[in-house]
Structure 1
Amino acid sequence: MDLGLNGRTALVCSSTGGIGEAIARTLAAEGADTVVCGRRGERAAEIAAQLPSAVGVEADLLADDGPARLYEATAAAFGAPDVLVLNGPGPRPALASALDATDAEEALDTLLHPHIRLISQVLPGMRERGWGRILAVGSSGVAAPLENLALSNLGRAALAGYLKTLAAEVAADGVTVNLLLPGRIRTARTAALDAANAERSGRTAAEVEQASVASIPARRYGHPEEFAAAAAFLCGAPASYITGTAVRCDGGLVRGL
């Protein structure tokens, strides 16, 4: 299938490792001019050098001017983005009963505000050109809130509500807005969560992983490349009639429809 991404400009946030890196590599393989970015500028440049048409940009999206500077670097390299993949590190584990208002602000500052700032940069150009893809990497916690991840559940749910509202506003302009929700994908983040769970429960990380695998109908963790393939489709031309939805890539982990 031709995804129609040849010559398109794709900006993939937090793409120096894990799911973000896999998405950047997949979009580049589909012909997109790809911006790899993250706080590790040297790693971003290293990945970009391995791709057909890409640049690496050091960027901190949590800085007030981070989104604007990233947009400017993208425009300078390849022109305004046609594809924006929103991605970022998850917040620390936390119980809902232990949160206060400051913690809630932390979740929004990490998972909502930087993405809104970046969308405000790229959206006008997408609408003017009549084509755009905004895809956010979420979490299965959007569909079924996860134990001990109250900050993630809060921030990602807020982003999901914003994106769902935005999708209806821009659909007639040829811009799609979607969420892609990972379950247990084998990344450094998943390993860290398993390690924290192991420490909290008095089990080994291997025992925690074994229990997680048993709860997944596919009976394994997913691979970043599998998730990236789904992301590339949603960013492509054939997915032009898919918008305002949350798609799960979780091996059947979430039991709801």
Structure 2
Amino acid sequence: MDLGLANKSVFVAAASKGLGLATALEFAREGAKVVIASRNLQQLEAARQEIKEATGQEVGIVQMDVTSPEQITEAIQAAVERNGGLDVLITNAGGPPGGGFAEMEDADWSGGFDLTLMSTIRLIREALPHLRAAGGGRIVNVSSVSIKQPIQGLILSNVFRAGVNALTKSLATELAEDGILINTVAPGRIGTDRIRELDSKRADAAGVPLEQVQAEALHGIPLGRTGTPEEFGRAVVFMGSFANTYSTGQSLLVDGGSVKSL
């Protein structure tokens, strides 16, 4: 299948590692002109080299903190200038801190709001004029299965990622006349540093070995295993491609069947 991504300009946020990096790598495999952004310049350089070695493609890098409106503006502009426009935006950010309701102060709620919801809003707002100028485009918001089934101990993620999903659904109608399709892709248990960090925290809190927590997590996954970042990246690339011509406002779960809701 031709995904229609050759020479398309793609911006991937929070792409120096994990799901963002896996997504950027898959776009590069399809011949897209990719710019990746992250706070950590050293990790960005390493990611650029990894993508080049895997695909032969040169990607652009730009240092960006997703909680900084100014840096978001500068990063999107850098991608536009490098690639002569923008066709695809992938919003992404590291997950907010774990914990339950009783543990969260106002500063935690404000931080989670900025990191998870406002970063998505600001990235889309900066990208829209360029997507419209391109005659239409694609937006994919990287989220979490918590948009369908809240995850215990992740109160901030549960609340603000639901807001991202509501934004996706709302903008699908507003952007349709511009030929811009917007969707959410939500990972379940995917083998990233974030999952290992959360597993370790749960193991420490319960006073049990990390291996026990990891084994128990697999019981709720019909496929019986943790997903790979590459599997997730391929799903994002399809939803963000021009082979996707009729799906907008949707939520695609990449979770091995773990979420049971209809």
Q: What's the TM-score bracket when you normalise by the shorter of the two chains?
A: over 0.9
The aligned counterpart of 1:148 is 153
Distance of 1:6 and 1:171 partners within structure 2: 23
Letter in structure 1 aligned against 2:183 = N
Letter in 1 for 2:11: L
1:12–1:34 CA contact under 8 A, matched in 2: yes
User: 67-76 vs 36-45, which deviates more?
Assistant: 36-45
TM-score (norm 2): 0.94
Partner residue of 1:21? 21
| Contact 1:174–1:240 (8 Å) recurs in 2 | no
1:36-94 CA-to-partner distances (Å, cap 9, x unmatched) read 22112132133224151311222112123121011121122112221111111001111
Which residue number corresponds to residue 58 of structure 1? 63
Q: Give the number of equivalent residue pairs.
A: 257
Distance 1:81 1:98 in 2: 41
Counterpart of 2:96?
A: 91
Residue 163 of structure 1 and its aligned partner are, at CA, apart by 1.7
Asked whether the equivalents of residues 127 and 170 of structure 1 are also in contact (C-alpha less than 8 Å), the reply is no
Classify the secondary structure of the residue corresponding to 2:11: strand
CA distance in 1, matches of 2:195, 2:104: 22
The answer to whether the 8 Å contact 2:141/2:185 transfers is yes
User: What CA distance in whole angstroms lies between the structure 1 residues aligned with 2:249 and 2:153?
Assistant: 28
- Structure 2 counterpart of 1:41: 41
Q: C-alpha displacement at 1:160, in angstroms?
A: 1.2
Write the letter of the residue equivalent to 1:181.
A
Write out aligned runs for 1:153-192 (5 A): 153-192=158-197
| Range 208-217 or range 118-127, more displaced | 118-127
CA distances 1:100-146 after superposition (whole Å, capped 9, x unpaired) = 44432221111011221111111122123322111011001111011
1: CA distance, partners of 2:197 / 2:58:
32
Name the aligned partner's letter for residue 4 of structure 2: G
Candidates 204, 220, 227, aligned match of 1:222: 227
Among 247, 251, 257, the alignment partner of 2:252 is 247
Q: Could you give the per-residue CA deviations for residues 147-193 of structure 1, whole angstroms, max 9, x where no partner exists?
A: 01001111111111112101110012110110001000000000000
1:105 aligns with 2:110: yes
Corresponding residue for residue 119 of structure 1: 124
Q: 1:233 aligns with which of 229, 234, 238?
A: 238
Give the match for residue 134 of structure 1.
139
Give distance in 1, aligned partners of 2:109 and 2:47.
34
CA distance in 2, matches of 1:148, 1:245: 26
Does the 8 Å CA contact 2:17/2:47 hold for their aligned counterparts?
A: no
Q: Which residue of 2 aligns with 1:212?
A: 217
Secondary structure of the corresponding residue to residue 243 of structure 2: helix
Q: Over aligned residues, Cα RMSD in angstroms?
A: 1.3
Return the TM-score normalized by structure 1: 0.96
User: Residue type of the partner of 1:248?
Assistant: L
CA-CA distance at 1:99 after TM superposition: 3.3
Q: Which amino acid aligns with 2:248?
A: T
In 2, Cα distance between equivalents of 1:42 and 1:106: 24
Aligned with 1:220: secondary structure? coil
- How many angstroms apart in 2 are the aligned matches of 1:33 and 1:219? 36
Instruction: Report deviation, 1:197.
Output: 0.5
Stretches of structure 1 lacking an aligned partner (at least 5 in a row):
none
Counterpart amino acid of 2:119? Answer: P
Identity %: 33
